[in-house]
Each structure stands twice: as structure tokens, then as C-alpha cells.
Structure 1
Amino acid sequence: MQSIRFSLLFLPFVLLLSGLLPALAQETAKPASQCQMIAQALPEVVFARFALPAAELAQAQADGTVRITYIGHSTFFIETPGGIRIATDYNGWYKPPSLPTVVTMNKAHSNHYTLSPQPGIEHVLHGWRDDGAPADHDVVAGDAYIRNVPTDIRSWGGAMEENGNSIFIFEIAGLCIGHLGHLHHELTEKQYAEIGRLDILMVPVDGGLTMGAESMSRVVERLRSALILPMHRRGPPIDRFLTMFDEDFDVSFADTASVEVSIRSLPRRPTILVLKGV
């Protein structure tokens, strides 16, 4: 009799929870990443993702072509098949050809962000948080899904600032596109696992303002992207970065600042493509 009375008393809480859990799941759910993988080196770490209808629609079109244009410094302009426009490391100085739908920023230096973005930009994504906690973005904009992996940065005094920057990842038309931002350190196994597969990699090649060419080349070799787009070249010539790679990597120099890529047109061998203006 006592157990029946306890069950009846407990029933309202069960019903309450059963009503709350679906709503809670909707609030905390994140889009499903097609590019993120579980690192076998970390068998106890499981990166859980929950699919939302919007995310499924955003990543459903794998037949389209993505256009990537180098604007300057570390700013690329990404145009999706569905008409979404994304500017990386947007600082307001290097103007994209049209108003971006989404801009991403990193805090390392003033030429990687602006606190006064152009009006009309729908999503302004900072790679840092003012309270020092890791930035956490999971944004679906049209046919693009954008997420980030936080990294540390080196301050002007030389000390490392935890979670000061982010690697932004754009999942578009079946492609996994990663922008390393102002990367100041080699990545951890956990960060590699959170990044997952990258088909296209935007990498700083300044040789020291971010990381030395040798350290940066190790990151590039580990990620093993099909298409590597250098950026952020200040100081040493591009050849210094290119000499870090052996015959397993092809090198090509474009006569324009833009490239159009689809999942079917990716090069079969890892290729470093130097766009005009780098």
C-alpha cells in the first residue's frame, strides 16, 4: 500500500519531467556536424550532437559549388550555393564585394575584428568571450552551419591568453571548411577531435606572428586537407612556408583571388593553392 501511495505522489513529477524534457532538449540541442569525428586517441571522449531539422536542411545540399575569394590579410569571402555570404576575420577594413550574412572575428589583433561591424550583418560571431570562457557557436544560416573550436592566443607581452581565439568551421554543400584564425600554438588531440575532417583549410603563413612555419606545417600535415589556402602572409615570402612540405603536397598559384569548389572538384592530392593577393 505504501509503494502505491509513493507511486501516486511521484506521478506528477514524472508527468512534469516528461513535459519539460522535450522542451529542454529543443533548447539545448545543437546541429549535427558532418565534419566532426571522434578521435580514436581519446576513447573515453564522445562528442554528442543532436540533429535539428534546420541543420539537416542546411547540410543537405552536397551538389552545390562554394565560391571562396581572398579579400586581404586573413579575410576570405565565402559564398554558398544558397546565397549565404560569410566573411572571416572581418575587421571592416577589407571590404567584401557585398554585405555579409555572417562574419567571424578573432581578438588577437585589431586587424582581425571590429566592435563596430557594418549594420545589416545578421550574425556577428566573436571567437572569444569577454568573461574568458570559451566561445561556443553553433549557427545555422541558410545552407551553412558554422561552429568553432576555441584556442589560446599570445598577448603582446608574450603570455598566453586562454580561449582568446577560435578556429571557425563552415559546413557547406558537403564541404568542411576551416579557418585557423590567428593560431599561436600547436593543437591538442582534443582540439583535433573537435575539428574533425577539413576538406579546405585557411592557414596563416606569416612564419612567426602566429606560429613558426615549421609548427604551422605540422598542423597542416596533421589535418591533411585536400585544399590549403594560405593567408596572413606578412614578412617572409610564401616560398618559406611552401618549402616545409614534401612531394606529397602539390602547389599551385592562381591568377585570380577566387576559387570555386565542390565536393566533387576537390583535388585528389593535398594541394596548396596560393590565391592572387596573398
Structure 2
Amino acid sequence: MEIKYLGHSCFRIKGKNTTVITDPFSPDTGLTLGKQTANIVTVSHQHAGHNHTEGVGGTPRIVSRPGEYEIGDAIIIGQAAFHDAEKGLIRGKNVVFVVAMDELTICHLGDLGTPLKESEIEELGKVDILMVPVGDMSALNAAAAARLVRQIEPAIVIPMHYQLPDNNRELEPVGRFLSEMGTEGIVPQAKLTITRSNLPLTTQVIVLEV
């Protein structure tokens, strides 16, 4: 499996036969999505930085609601959550997606705005790769994200939804999360190529370049 960070909360997850793109962003973020195609697009919530499905070619299946979906080689479970600490009264609802594909389980938290309960963490099951928002403002801050990572205990955690050079959203830098995790000085890498056999035994933080 190959995972590429496209910016904001958007990743391209390329399996052997199925490609998933998460939370595609619109050009008004200041970022460029590029020419992308996919079989599946997940949308955590209906905000412009996360639901630009028309920017993805290949007539993908759009998944934007809680539930269980089997599409191609992927099994996707959407779990209802909130975009804020007031049960969605401020920013609305959010969907956490768990994608099982190529013997790996990836969890994309979307714009999760409040810590998950123990029962909600148990619902996620064993997570191999966790994509967690860390930039505060409209989702978890660095400290809350780090606490949640320690609760979920994934093999790999990839931060997302933080300030990028061209992003016109007001977010905190990724360095604050790295400091909370005790992993300052990590060198970003262009992409992550991973299989079940080379998952780390303890949680590893990986920062991906855009």
C-alpha cells in the first residue's frame, strides 16, 4: 500500500486494486489537489475543505455517511462523531472512517473536534495507521491529538489538518504535535509504502510531505 499526503486532511491511499481519497479540498483553501483519480472518496463532513468530490476523477463511489460499505477490495466503516465539543451545535457532525484494505486497517478521523469515548475507541477496532487532525482551531489541538493517539495505540500515526505554507486556513503548525509526542526533528518523507509485514511494533509518527 502507498499513502500520499495531498494536503489539509486529504490523502491518496493506493492499494493493489483499489484507490481511496479522503476529504478532497476545494481550491479556495489555497492548496492544489492536482489531477487525482480514485475508486472511492470519503467525506468526513460537508465543509469546502473536505468535500470537493468533483475534483477527483474516475467516477469514484462517494462515501459520506455512517455505515458499513464494501467497495472493491475495501471494507469501509463510517462512525458518527462531532466536529466540536458541543455535540455538533457549533460546526456540525463528523464521520470517522475505518478502511480495511490489503490486510491493513486505516483510520481517518476527519475533523474530529472532541475526544472519543472508550466505547467509541473500542468500536474502531485495532488500527494500524491513524490519520489524526492536530492543528486546533476547527478540530483537535496537539495535546488532545497526542492523548487520543496513546489511547488508540496505532502502529503508525500520520498528522494532518495543520498549517501548510499555501493553506489559507488558520491552523497550528505540526511541530506542536511532534513536541507532544516527543518526536521533534522528524524528517518528512514523500510517501509511505507499507505492508502488514513491515508495520512497526511500537507507535511511530510519520510526517508526509505535500
TM-score tier, shorter chain, comes to: 0.7 to 0.9
Shift of 1:120: 4.0
Distance (whole Å) between structure 2 residues aligned to residue 196 and residue 250 of structure 1: 29
Q: 1:80 corresponds to which letter in structure 2?
A: G
Give me the whole-angstrom Cα distance separating, in 1, the residues matched to 2:201 and 2:185.
13
1:154 pairs with 65, 75, 84, which one? Answer: 84
1:73–1:228 CA distance, 2 compared to 1 (3 A): same
In the alignment, structure 1 residue 69 sits paired with structure 2 residue 7: no
Q: Is the 8 A contact 2:37 2:57 kept in 1?
A: no
**Deviant stretches of 4+, over 6 Å:** none
* 2:51 is equivalent to residue 121 of structure 1: no
> Aligned runs of 1:218-237 on 2, under 5 Å?
218-234=147-163, 235-237=171-173
Mapping of residues 157-236 of structure 1, within 5 Å: 159-160=89-90, 164-234=93-163, 235-236=171-172
TM-score where L is the length of structure 1: 0.64
Q: 1:80 aligns with which of 1, 12, 15?
A: 15
**Which residue of the other structure, out of 180, 186, 189, is the alignment partner of 1:255?**
189
TM-score, normalised to structure 2, is 0.83
Tell me, in whole angstroms, the C-alpha distance in 1 between the residues paired with 2:90 and 2:185: 33
Partners of 1:238 and 1:118 in 2: CA distance: 26
Give unmatched runs, 5+ long, in structure 1: 1-65, 128-134
Q: Counterpart amino acid of 1:74?
A: S
Q: Is the 8 A contact 2:36 2:56 kept in 1?
A: no
- Shift of residue 69, structure 1, vs aligned partner: 0.4
CA distance in 2, matches of 1:186, 1:255: 28
Contact 1:250 1:271 in 2 (8 A): no
One-letter amino acid of the structure 1 residue matched with residue 14 of structure 2:
E
- Report SS of the residue matched to 1:243: helix
Q: Distance in 1 between matches of 2:176 and 2:56?
A: 36
Deviation at 1:252, TM superposition (A): 3.6
Distance 1:120 1:237, change over 3 A: closer
The 1-side partners of 2:26 and 2:209 are apart by 21
1:28-84 per-position Cα deviation (integer Å, ceiling 9, x unaligned): xxxxxxxxxxxxxxxxxxxxxxxxxxxxxxxxxxxxxx10000111100011112x1
Structure showing the higher helix proportion among its residues:
1
What is the identity percentage for the equivalent residue pairs of Structure 1 and Structure 2? 27
Contact 1:251/1:273 (<8 A) preserved: no
Q: CA contact under 8 A between 1:152 and 1:160: conserved in structure 2?
A: no
Structure 1 contact 177–198 (Cα < 8 Å) conserved: yes
Aligned residue-pair number: 198
Tell me, in whole angstroms, the C-alpha distance in 1 between the residues paired with 2:91 and 2:162.
23
Question: Which amino acid is the alignment partner of residue 69 of structure 2?
Answer: V
Letter aligned with residue 140 of structure 1: E
Secondary structure at the residue paired with 2:33?
A: coil
Instruction: Supply the distance in 2 between the matched residues of 1:210 and 1:219 (Cα, whole angstroms).
Output: 13
The change in CA–CA distance for 1:152 and 1:236 in structure 2 (over 3 A counts) is closer
Q: Secondary structure at the match of 1:197?
A: coil
Counterpart-to-counterpart distance in 2, 1:115 and 1:87:
9
Gap change, CA 1:122 and 1:275, over 3 Å in 2: closer
Instruction: Write the distance in 1 (CA, Å) between the matches of 2:179 and 2:194.
Output: 25
In structure 2, C-alpha distance between the alignment counterparts of 1:199 and 1:173, rounded to whole Å: 12
Q: CA RMSD in A?
A: 2.5
Distance 1:193 1:227 in 2: 18
TM-superposed deviation, 1:100: 0.9
What is the rounded CA distance, in whole Å, between the counterparts of 2:184 and 2:201 in structure 1?
10
Alpha-carbon distance, 1:214 to partner: 1.4
